[in-house]
Each structure stands twice: as C-alpha cells, then as structure tokens.
Amino acid sequence: MPSLRLVAPLLLAALVVTGCGREINTDDSKPPALLGRSDQTRANLGFPEFATKNTTRVPGSDATQIAAAVVRAAYPDPARKPSAVTLVDNGDWRVAVAASALMAAPFNAPVLFTDGTDLPSATRSALDALAPKGSAAAGNAQVIRIGNVAKPAGMKSSDISPSTPLGLTRSIAGLIRSGKPGKTIRVIVTSGDDPSFAAPAAAYAAKAGDPVLFVTRNAVPPETRAALAALAGLARPRIYVLGPSKVIGAKVTRELRRLGRVKRVGGQDPVANAIGMARYRDGAFGWGIVDPGHGLVFARTGRPLDAAAAAPLSGTGTFGPLLLLDESARVPQALQQYLLDIQPGYQDDPVRGVYNHGWIIGTRDAISVAEQARIDALLEIVPARTPDTPALP
C-alpha cells in the first residue's frame, strides 16, 4: 500500500488533473492549483485517479512528460541524485528502449527525452532539479547524449555520435560493454518492428543493465550482428530472444546461435509476452516474479515510448517488471490471472504479510480509472485461502 512518503514526491512533481488533458506541473515553486475545476474535482483532490491504496499513477500526455515525472519520483532526495541523465530523441522508440539500460550501474543515467535538438520544458525542469553529479563510467559526464539531441548548457556531456537508429543501439551496447570489462554479457534481442513486443526489454534493461538489440522477423541487421560480435569479449554472449516466432522467426534464431547461446522468452501476444518476461528466470537473468511482494509497472500497448519513459521505476525503488494492457477500459484476462497468481495473502495479521504495488503509466486515456481500480483490487493483500474458504470473486 503506497505510503505518504511514496506518494508525496510524485505529487510535487506532477499532480494529475482528473478529467482534463492539461500538462503536468513540474515546477516545485508553484503549488498545484485546483482553480477552475469542478467542485467534485476539488473535493477529491485528484483521487482515485492519482493514487489508490495499492497504485500510483504517473500522469502525462506524452512520454516526454512521463519521463520527467518518473525521474523526479525515482530521485526525490537532493542528497541522492542519479550520476547522469541520458538524453534521447523522442523520434525513435528503439533507441529509447536500448538507452534504458544506462539507468543501471555503472552509469546510473535514466532516460529523458528531447525533441530533436530542442529541450522540452519538462525535461529542462527535471534536469535542473536532478543536477546530476557526473558518471565515472561515462567520463564524469552529467549528460549522456544519444545521437543528434539537445546539449544542455553548463553540463558536461558524453556524446554518442549521430547515426542511424540501429547504429545508435550498437553504440549503446558498446558503451555498456566498456563499463563491464571482463564480464560475460547477457543480451536481450527483440523486435525492431513491433514496439509492443519489445517494451518489456526496457524495464529489465533498466534493472540489470543488459544491452538491448533489435532484429526483424526474418533478418539480423548488420548493426546488430556487429554489436553481438563486439560483445563477445571473453566468452560468447548469452542471447535472450524476447518475442514469439511469429515476430522473430526461426531463421533469425539460427543466425543468432552462430553468435552466442540463444534462449527464447515471451508469449504469443504483447500482454502474454510481458507476463512471460516477468515470470522468466534463467540463472542470473530474468525477473522470476512468481510470488507476491513486488513492484509492478502497468502501461498500454500502442504507446512505444512509454516503456522507456517508465523504465527507471523498474531500476530503483520496488524494482518491478513492465506489464501491458491492450485496451484502455479492460484488464486482459491473462493479466488478471497473473496478478491473482502473485496476489499477497496472510493467515492471521496482514501487517505480517508482503505487499504488491503498481505504477500506472499515463492518463486515463491510456489506462482508465476503472482499470486502475481493478488492478488495485488484484494487488490487494487478502486472507489466505484454506480448503474451507470460498473462492475470491
């Protein structure tokens, strides 16, 4: 159940406005105003859309706003700042997903978005508030610039030169390799065609720091092939293919086996694919979440940048996988079943139990308040069933 300590930082960064599409407030010098709202909105103060007892919503009409709010929620304490921030153009989701891995050690650089060489106000406000100290793994840079993006004045930057999107993902993988010398690299290879199948890679990469590379259904692009060859180091990389064979075909996996050890993870549709990634564990790789007591991040399919925007929530705090909903007004049956599988229970006293918490990504247009309420109920700690206990509704 989210505490006031959990809710307050995000409330300062971005107060959701029930029933309207106004921009979030990222200026701490101005208190969130409720002027001009309905009496009902003022009475509710944005709840339950802003938060319920088991969920917290990160509002924002686009990924740029969401990313700015997420990093403020992830780093509310001025004494505990990220080492750096990664700036990515909002024009290509593949680069954003790959850059999510820089959230993890040794770079500790969450993603924020630029609009080409322009720095959006939400991103600028987040940068000013975070004031990153500099990442030793990136040459003490405060900003890691990926491609042709804005260059914030007064901040030391480390630049990955402009290139094609897949060229940039190759360079990101090389940067990750440089920060982990002598270690066997685990790599996520996923669809470069369908962002809904690739989305769960962003969350895991932010937690583990494993590079993300992209293929098509029937081919391994030369940039990905070259990146995998360079990642080999002391041993062939361990390659985890995220997505079903209808998205990444057998021809591709055969070619990947020439470059490393290959295992496939995921499911047949985006919802099942995200659940498959959440459940999966292979040695040191994977979430392996098959029990209660975790953070979870919920986003919609069809919003390709949201996964990268939300990724820092998977790499800090309650560390949890990304789960997907395919409609704005219905929790998919497969997701309901998964949440029931990991729903917390208690025997005598709920205080002695464990708890799940969900981050809801986007406005009610992405995930409705009704869906949020259903997710809240599925995350709730409940009395543990005995043979004589009737099934929960």
Q: Let me know if residue 393 belongs to a domain.
A: no
What separation in angstroms does the CA of 373 have from each of 141, 168, 275, 303?
42, 40, 20, 21
Structure tokens at 215: 């293929």
Q: Which domain holds residue 98?
A: 4-383
Q: Let me know if residue 47 belongs to a domain.
A: yes
How high is the pLDDT of residue 45? Answer: 73
How high is the pLDDT of residue 43? Answer: 58
How high is the pLDDT of residue 32? Answer: 40
Q: Let me know if residue 389 belongs to a domain.
A: no
Q: Let me know if residue 56 belongs to a domain.
A: yes
Q: Let me know if residue 391 belongs to a domain.
A: no
Q: Are 212 and 169 in contact (CB under 8 A)?
A: yes
How high is the pLDDT of residue 180? Answer: 82
How high is the pLDDT of residue 14? Answer: 40
Domain tally, the chain: 1
How high is the pLDDT of residue 15? Answer: 38
What separation in angstroms does the CA of 316 have from each of 25, 74, 95, 208, 274?
23, 7, 21, 11, 19
How high is the pLDDT of residue 54? Answer: 97
| Overall pTM surpassing 0.85 (yes/no) | yes
Q: Let me know if residue 304 belongs to a domain.
A: yes
How high is the pLDDT of residue 67? Answer: 98
Structure tokens at 15: 């107060």
Q: In what order do the strands lie in the sheet with 212-215?
A: 212-215, 186-191, 238-242, 261-265
Q: Let me know if residue 390 belongs to a domain.
A: no
Structure tokens at 42: 């003022």
How high is the pLDDT of residue 26? Answer: 41
User: What is the pLDDT tens value at each position of the chain, 393 positions in all?
Assistant: 444 334 444 443 443 333 333 333 444 434 343 334 455 555 567 889 999 999 999 999 899 999 999 999 999 998 999 999 999 999 999 999 999 999 999 999 999 999 999 999 999 999 999 999 999 999 999 999 999 999 999 999 999 998 999 999 999 999 999 988 767 789 999 999 999 999 999 999 999 999 999 999 999 999 999 999 998 766 789 999 999 999 999 999 999 999 999 999 999 999 999 999 999 999 999 999 999 999 999 999 999 999 999 999 999 999 999 999 998 789 999 999 999 999 999 998 999 899 999 999 999 999 999 999 999 999 999 998 655 555 555
Q: Let me know if residue 365 belongs to a domain.
A: yes
**What is the Cα–Cα distance from 262 to 307, expressed in whole angstroms?**
24
How high is the pLDDT of residue 328? Answer: 75
Peptide bond into 2 cis (omega under 30): no
3-state secondary structure the chain: CCCHHHHHHHHHHCCCCCCCCCCCCCCCCCCCCCCCCCHHHHHHCCCCCCECCCEEEECCCCHHHHHHHHHHHHCCCCCCCCCCEEEEECCCHHHHHHHHHHHCCCCCCCEEEEECCECCHHHHHHHHHHCCCCEHHHCCECEEEECCCCCCCCCCEEEECCCCHHHHHHHHHHHHHHCCCCCCCEEEEEECCCHHHHHHHHHHHHHHCCCEEEECCCCCCHHHHHHHHHHCCCCCCEEEEECCCCCCCHHHHHHHHCCCEEEEECCCCHHHHHHHHHHCCECCECCCCCCCCCEEEEEECCCCCHHHHHHHHHCCCCCCCEEEECCCCCCCHHHHHHHHHCCCEECCCHHHCCCCEEEEECCCCCCCHHHHHHHHHHHCCEECCCCCCCCCC
